[in-house]
């Protein structure tokens, strides 16, 4: 029987702080587990790049770590949004492959449940990357789009604990650079489709003052208007202060954020945006983060215009990265159609799981 201990991880103020060593080790454990599941280390975020997420006062997180002989071998994250009346809690449990089937995952799960119970939340949810298992029996998504391997350890782990699969997510990868001729054709077609009613605006880093209110609305709608299937997501309350606070946190990361937004010219309001997170090392892939077009402006190829314009901005300002990676709901056909048209190909699948308690 391998002995292990569990404790709460202290979140350092900066990555250079004297107490940051455990946070750095925990992040490497996270990355090793993720790379094992997806089969590539291309999704890796370095400790200094992840630290700003842990300092988000709007979505506080608690991290438990398990040690064997002093070494961190597993982690469990509890995250609960601060929105008034929200009932959802998010679990993320991972054990290094060499330390599985020792009861560590179960013990961490029970401790997250205890935190969740004390927090009074009744909806436990988890996003999980499922390791590919070609030819294995599949568990279909209730959305009718996608499936995950039914007999994988994580699938069994979650089902035995009363979680149900609610949604499948696709991990996609776009090799860079795209073919220049077809890229230029697609961008001019999307620009023509948008016509004179819309205008592309772009910035790096902090949101320009004039777009703070617009970005607050877009972030709010991102939390309610992207497909979440049977998962329960709190409607996030965003104002200009929250956008600015996010900007300031991201400025402490070594990554650079490139934002492209679309302005509706007549009303001078933003109606869509997309965000690329660029790591400092050119040999690492870029992470495609949020993309949203407001419902009332959909169907005008603005999603394609946003993504192509931001990729062009990337090529102009940060050329040389090998790829862009992204996550999308498998039932989100409009977004997947845009990505496939640009050249993204699927490289992995994740699941969104839910358990109701109380």
Could you give the CA distance from residue 193 to residue 266 in angstroms, rounded to a whole number? 17
For ligand COA, the closer CB: 102 or 342: 102
157 binds ligand COA (CB under 6 A): yes
**Cα dist. 21→16, 27, 51, 61, 66 in Å?**
9, 10, 12, 18, 15
154 binds ligand COA (CB under 6 A): yes
106 binds ligand COA (CB under 6 A): yes
**Which listed residue (28, 100, 150, 249) binds ligand COA by CB under 6 A?**
100
For ligand COA, the closer CB: 128 or 262: 128
For ligand COA, the closer CB: 92 or 331: 92
Q: Which residue is nearest to ligand COA (CB)?
A: 105
Could you give the CA distance from residue 89 to residue 8 in angstroms, rounded to a whole number? 18
For ligand COA, the closer CB: 128 or 246: 128
**Cα dist. 223→95, 239, 291 in Å?**
29, 13, 11
DSSP conformation letters of 258-312: EEEEEEETTTTEEEEEEEEEE-SSTTSPEEEEEEEE-GGGTTSSHHHHHHHHHHH
Count of chain residues binding ligand COA (CB under 6 A): 22
CB of 284 to ligand COA, least distance (A): 22
Structure tokens at 166: 């609610």
**Which listed residue (18, 57, 98, 160) binds ligand COA by CB under 6 A?**
160
For ligand COA, the closer CB: 160 or 266: 160
302 binds ligand COA (CB under 6 A): no
**Which listed residue (65, 89, 95, 215) binds ligand COA by CB under 6 A?**
95
DSSP conformation letters of 49-112: HHHHHHT-TTS-EEEEEEEETTEEEEEEEEE---STT--EEEEEEEE-GGG-SSSHHHHHHHHH
DSSP one-letter code for 234:
P
33 binds ligand COA (CB under 6 A): yes
Q: Taking a C-beta distance cutoff of 8 angstroms, is the pair 300, 198 a contact?
A: yes
Could you give the CA distance from residue 272 to residue 292 in angstroms, rounded to a whole number? 5
- Write the interaction track for ligand COA spanning residues 235-264; mark x where CB under 6 A is met and - where it is not: ------------------------------
79 binds ligand COA (CB under 6 A): no
**Cα dist. 69→2, 5, 25, 110, 200 in Å?**
9, 9, 14, 22, 55
231 binds ligand COA (CB under 6 A): no
91 binds ligand COA (CB under 6 A): yes
For ligand COA, the closer CB: 93 or 216: 93
Q: Taking a C-beta distance cutoff of 8 angstroms, is the pair 105, 95 a contact?
A: yes
**How far out from the chain centre does Cα 24 lie?**
20
**How far out from the chain centre does Cα 173 lie?**
14
CB of 141 to ligand COA, least distance (A): 16
Q: Give strand pairing partners of 237.
A: none
Could you give the CA distance from residue 12 to residue 80 in angstroms, rounded to a whole number? 20
266 binds ligand COA (CB under 6 A): no
CB of 74 to ligand COA, least distance (A): 7
Choose the binding region for ligand COA from 23-31, 148-156, 168-176, 314-322 (rule: CB under 6 A). 148-156
**Which listed residue (15, 80, 128, 261) binds ligand COA by CB under 6 A?**
128
CB of 46 to ligand COA, least distance (A): 20
**Which listed residue (153, 177, 230, 346) binds ligand COA by CB under 6 A?**
153
CB of 78 to ligand COA, least distance (A): 11
Structure tokens at 16: 């250079």
Residues at the interface with ligand COA (CB under 6 A) = 33, 37, 91-95, 100-106, 126, 128, 153-154, 156-158, 160
């Amino acid at each position: 029987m391998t002995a292990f201990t569990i404790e709460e991880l202290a979140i350092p103020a900066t990555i250079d702080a004297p107490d940051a060593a455990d946070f750095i080790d925990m992040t490497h454990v996270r990355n090793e587990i993720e790379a094992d599941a997806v089969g590539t280390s291309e999704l890796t975020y370095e400790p200094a790049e992840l630290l700003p997420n842990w300092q988000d006062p709007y979505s506080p997180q608690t991290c438990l770590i398990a040690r064997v002989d002093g070494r961190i071998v597993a982690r469990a994250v509890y995250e609960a949004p601060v929105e008034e009346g929200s009932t959802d809690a998010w679990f993320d449990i991972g054990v290094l492959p060499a330390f599985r089937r020792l009861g560590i995952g179960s013990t961490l799960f029970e401790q997250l449940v205890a935190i969740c119970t004390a927090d009074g939340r009744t909806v436990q949810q988890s996003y999980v990357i499922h390791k590919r298992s070609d030819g294995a029996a599949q568990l279909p998504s209730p959305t009718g789009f996608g499936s995950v391997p039914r007999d994988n350890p994580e699938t069994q782990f979650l089902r035995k604990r009363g979680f149900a699969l609610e949604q499948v997510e696709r991990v996609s990868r776009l090799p860079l650079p795209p073919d220049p001729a077809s890229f230029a054709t697609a961008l001019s077609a999307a620009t023509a489709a948008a016509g004179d009613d819309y205008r592309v605006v772009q910035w790096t880093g902090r949101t320009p003052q004039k777009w703070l209110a617009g970005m607050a609305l877009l972030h709010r709608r991102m939390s309610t208007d992207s497909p979440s299937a049977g998962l329960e997501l709190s409607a996030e309350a965003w104002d200009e202060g929250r956008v600015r606070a996010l900007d300031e946190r991201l400025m402490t990361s070594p990554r650079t954020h490139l934002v492209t937004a679309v302005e509706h010219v007549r009303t001078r309001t933003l109606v869509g945006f997309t965000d690329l997170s660029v790591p400092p090392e050119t040999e690492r892939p870029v992470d495609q983060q949020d993309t949203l077009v407001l419902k009332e402006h959909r169907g005008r190829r603005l999603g394609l215009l946003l993504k192509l314009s931001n990729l062009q901005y990337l090529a102009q300002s940060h050329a040389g990265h090998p790829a862009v990676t992204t996550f999308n709901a498998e039932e989100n056909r409009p977004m997947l159609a845009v990505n496939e048209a640009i050249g993204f190909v699927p490289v992995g699948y994740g699941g969104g799981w839910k358990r109701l308690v109380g």
